[in-house]
Amino acid sequence: MRHLFIAGLLFGCANEVSSSLEPDFETDSLPDLSSSRLICDTNALPAPTPLKRLSNAHYRNSLTFLFSAPALQAPLATALATDFTRLPPDRDTGQTFASMDQRLTEEHVNVQFDLADGLASGVASTPERRVALAGTCAEEAPLSTECVDGFIRGFGRRAFRRPLSDEEVERFAELRGDGLDPAEILGNLVFSFLMAPQFLYVFEDAGQPLSGRPNITELTPWELASRLTFTFWQSPPDDSLLDAVASGAFETDEGYTNSARQIIEDPRSTTFVRSFFDQWFKIPEAVEFPNDPIFNTVSRDVNVDAGLYVEMRAEAHTLIDEFMENDRSYRDLLTTPMVMTQSQRLAEIYEVEAWDGSSEPPVATAAPRPGILTRSAVLLATGTTNPILRGAFLRREILCDDLEVPPDLPSEAFQFPEQEPDQSTREVVDAKTNVEGCAGCHALINPLGYAMESFDGLGKFRTEEEVLDSNGEILATVPIDPVIRPQLDLGDTNTVDTVEQLMSDIAGHPKTASCFARHLYRYAFRQDEDVVRDGCSLINVQEAIEAGSMTDALIALVTDDGFKQIVLEDAQ
């Protein structure tokens, strides 16, 4: 749950206040943004991809897949409701996506054991469940050799996401033991599969090294299938995909591309949309609206309750879904005035008619609403209207400009400056940050946030800012000044007059497409990108996103050699 912080400001700088509103670039140092530029060096060895454990989402969905039969739902539900909840959560470790959290603790292993132990006992406990696991042959006692081997091969392929070798089958078959009843045999087998490293980790070690480049290995079709489904479904390959791989569907480039497209266009890819964009845009799962005088004044015309944010988030999701499903471009997503909310109160915030859910969605005309980044769910992600935070979000997350936090912020950095009734937030922030030592970075950050001042704490468009006291009393009304010099390229002197123009400029800028590519890489590979070593692959995706739809970019990603290969830094 995120607590909203509508009125407060955080300043990253503190010095004597200057009266100048123009930064003094001759005396101030400018940030170096060149380190974030993509470079394609065809001779560079792509960045290595270390062994990854299943993310918690992958793990949960893998268990759900393995025990999807109706007869197995009860023990699965028990396991997920008890032991699974003890699993240390994949959480923010300073990385963009939770699945990049690769921490492994003792508790992970303890929970894996308890889950495997509990499920093994539960799913093999009754004749009906054993049949659901291993087929009708499991009704007989003792279990036949064929029955056990058949279970090992079938369950093993689903657990390891590839066929087991004969040697592996033989090893698991040792668990048939002497004098064990069917429940014990099947339970021990399930336990052993669920504790095996081949299940808990995503191994990509079975391919052949490229000729002349021993550190680069081509993924096998089985490994590719896992990479695809874990990226787009958060799940392992299903039975039909495993069958398709077994039948050679991935053996040709055309076959692989067609299969990849089917995976991307499968309804299960909705999980990708949710997971990818929510984490990238930092859209919270839930928001707790404050109950204080300031917020009450800001929201006085809106019926605010917990459901409002649910509607805001649903509107953002629906819009993204629409653009994904209809092969629309990322550029359009950043500029579209189309509003897809059936919530009357959110429609009123956006100043549009509520959508009926079936006919052509309305378009914002009375008040600007350019693109996904101006929707309430995204605007609320920073928890505040603070133009520094909003500007930094656009700079870092949407443009991927590499702006670092100053090394040792002085105490005054966090002091809330006095705001006179006739001063706008822009003026206060400008006075605070437009000083030597601060102005360089803030000249890049603040203007983007100033343009976003066109939206209040709930995301309602405004041309005037109400200056409030701590009791929520309106002291004055001052005009919003949206005219800025965005400097999407360092030193660019162009200005924009409106938030629509800013969003249009951002949407069309190469850095924006590049930033999409970089986030997509992080999500798919579950690690940070190297803008040089992975530069060629990233540029391929960038070009795809510039030229086509978001789906085209996903296809470009998965058909790039970088996706289909693995690199070892220190292979033996």
Partner 1 sequence: MKYNRIHRRHFLQGIGGALLTVPILPSLLPREARAQAMNPPKRFIGLKHWNAPPVARTWPTSSGIRGDYTVRPYALNRAFRDGTTELSTPLTEPTGNRSGNRYFGHWAPLSDFIGTEATGDGFSTMFGRELNPFRDKMLYLRGLHFPASVNHNNGGWLGNFAASENPRGSRANATLDQVLANSSEVYATAPIGPRSISLSPGQFASIVFDDSGSGITPVIDPVAAWTSLFGRLDGGSEGETPADHPRRNLVNRIYEDFRAVRGSAQISNNDRQRLDRHVGFLNDLQVRLQSSGSVIAGGSCSAPGEPPARNLNSVEEVRSLYNDYLDLIAAAVMCDVTRVFTLNCCRVPALVNPGVEDVVAQGCGSCNSGEGNPNFDQAGRSWHYAAHSYGSELSDPALGRLGNRLSSAYEFIGRRVMAGLLERLDVPEDGESTYLDNSVVLLGGELGSNHVPDSVPTALAGSLGGYFDTGKYLDYMRLQNASPFVQENGTFVEGAHYNRLLIAILQGFGLTASDYETEPGTGLFGESRMLGRSNVHWGDMDPDMANRPLNGIVA
- Judged by CB under 8 A, the chain residues 2 through 41 that form the site for partner 1 are 2-3, 5-8, 10
> Smaller CB distance to partner 1: residue 33 or 294?
294
Q: From CA 545, how far away is CA 536, in angstroms rounded?
A: 14
Residues 395-424 within binding reach of partner 1 (CB under 8 A) = 405, 407-411, 414-416
Closest residue by Cα to residue 133 from 106, 114, 154: 154
Q: Which stretch binds partner 1 (CB under 8 A): 232-240, 379-387, 495-503, 543-551?
A: 379-387
Q: Report helix, strand or coil for 241.
A: helix
Task: Select the residue interacting with partner 1 from 55, 61, 99, 188 (CB under 8 A).
Answer: 188
Residue 136 found at the interface with partner 1 (CB under 8 A): no
> Smaller CB distance to partner 1: residue 218 or 332?
218
Residue 436 identity: E
Residue recorded with tokens 């409002």: 308
> Smaller CB distance to partner 1: residue 190 or 488?
190
Beta bridge partners of 363: 338
Task: Select the residue interacting with partner 1 from 42, 359, 470, 493 (CB under 8 A).
Answer: 470
Q: Using omega within 30 degrees of 0 as the cis cutoff, is the peptide bond preceding 46 cis?
A: no
> Smaller CB distance to partner 1: residue 189 or 339?
189
> Smaller CB distance to partner 1: residue 151 or 330?
151
Beta bridge partners of 496: 484
Residue 177 found at the interface with partner 1 (CB under 8 A): no
Residue 292 found at the interface with partner 1 (CB under 8 A): yes
Element (H, E) at 345: helix 344-350
As measured in angstroms, the least distance from the Cβ of 349 to partner 1 is 22
As measured in angstroms, the least distance from the Cβ of 521 to partner 1 is 20
Taking the CB of residue 163, how many other CB atoms lie within 10 A of it? 16
Residues 194-233 within binding reach of partner 1 (CB under 8 A) = 195-198, 200-201, 203-207, 209, 217
Q: How many residues bind partner 1 (CB under 8 A)?
A: 71
Q: Which stretch binds partner 1 (CB under 8 A): 31-39, 304-312, 355-363, 377-385?
A: 377-385
Residue 166 found at the interface with partner 1 (CB under 8 A): no
Residues 98-117 within binding reach of partner 1 (CB under 8 A) = 102-110, 113, 117
Taking the CB of residue 478, how many other CB atoms lie within 10 A of it? 19
Beta bridge partners of 2: 287
> Smaller CB distance to partner 1: residue 264 or 294?
294
> Smaller CB distance to partner 1: residue 156 or 371?
156
Task: Select the residue interacting with partner 1 from 384, 385, 419, 514 (CB under 8 A).
Answer: 384
Rounded to 10 degrees, the C-alpha dihedral 57/60/65/69 comes to: -150
> How far out from the chain centre does Cα 221 lie?
26
Task: State the angle between helix axes of 510-525 and 499-508 in degrees (0 to 180), rounded to the nearest 10.
Answer: 60
Residue 306 found at the interface with partner 1 (CB under 8 A): no
DSSP 394: I
Beta bridge partners of 467: 476
Q: From CA 320, how far away is CA 404, in angstroms rounded?
A: 30
Task: Select the residue interacting with partner 1 from 23, 156, 383, 486 (CB under 8 A).
Answer: 383
Residues 75-94 within binding reach of partner 1 (CB under 8 A) = 86, 88-89, 91-93
Closest residue by Cα to residue 66 from 185, 212, 200: 200
